[in-house]
Amino acid sequence: MQLMKNMKIRIKKIKEITDQHYKLLLNADPSKKLVDDYLKRSWVYEAVAFGKLAGIIVLLPTRPETLEIVNLSVSKKFQRHGIGTHLVQYAIKFGQINGYHTLEVGTGTTSFGPLYLYQKCGFRMISIDRDFFSKNYSKPLIENNLLLKDMVRLRLDIKSI
């Protein structure tokens, strides 16, 4: 897919979650209950390109000096245009400015696109949460024609970059 010419991405804090935001959030995490739970405790930002919602990121402080990306989703028509990378870079800067030393993320072991994105941005795998999706979601999740069972945890030291 050819990159969109002259695409300017604006990231701004979301004051109120709209149906459009929920659609993106639930694309990355199909449990509305879990999404609603972490939204109450998080910072939420949207990426806007050409005046349209292009992506969303949710950042949650999990421990002292640790910030976690608990949701990142890019609209289908904006995928493969650097929006995800831009949102991750924003999370890194946000964490650094706000005194966090570590940025973490958990994603499915069958989530090949997100795994590539996070590793491209410098994240390293630290653990596997076996059966995370089997235990926390009422319905089986199929991704890339595979049953999603485990979550891989990744970490980036943002203090030293």
Give residue for tokens 């199929």: 142
Q: Where are the alpha helices (DSSP H) in the chain?
A: 19-28, 32-39, 83-97, 112-120, 132-136
- Provide the pLDDT for residue 6: 74
- Provide the pLDDT for residue 1: 39
Give residue for tokens 């421990």: 63
- Provide the pLDDT for residue 3: 47
- Provide the pLDDT for residue 4: 64
141-156 exposure pattern, b = at least 16 Cβ within 10 A, e = fewer: beeeeeebbebbbbbb
pLDDT (tens digit per residue) in 88-130: 999 999 999 999 999 999 999 999 999 999 999 999 999 999 9
Tell me the domains of the chain and their CATH numbers.
Answer: 9-157 (3.40.630.30)
- Provide the pLDDT for residue 5: 64
Looking at residue 142, its amino acid is I
- Provide the pLDDT for residue 30: 95
Q: Write out residues in the chain with pLDDT < 70, as ranges.
A: 1-5
Looking at residue 29, its amino acid is D
Considering the entire predicted model, what is its pTM? Answer: 0.94
Of the chain, the end-to-end C-alpha distance in Å amounts to: 31
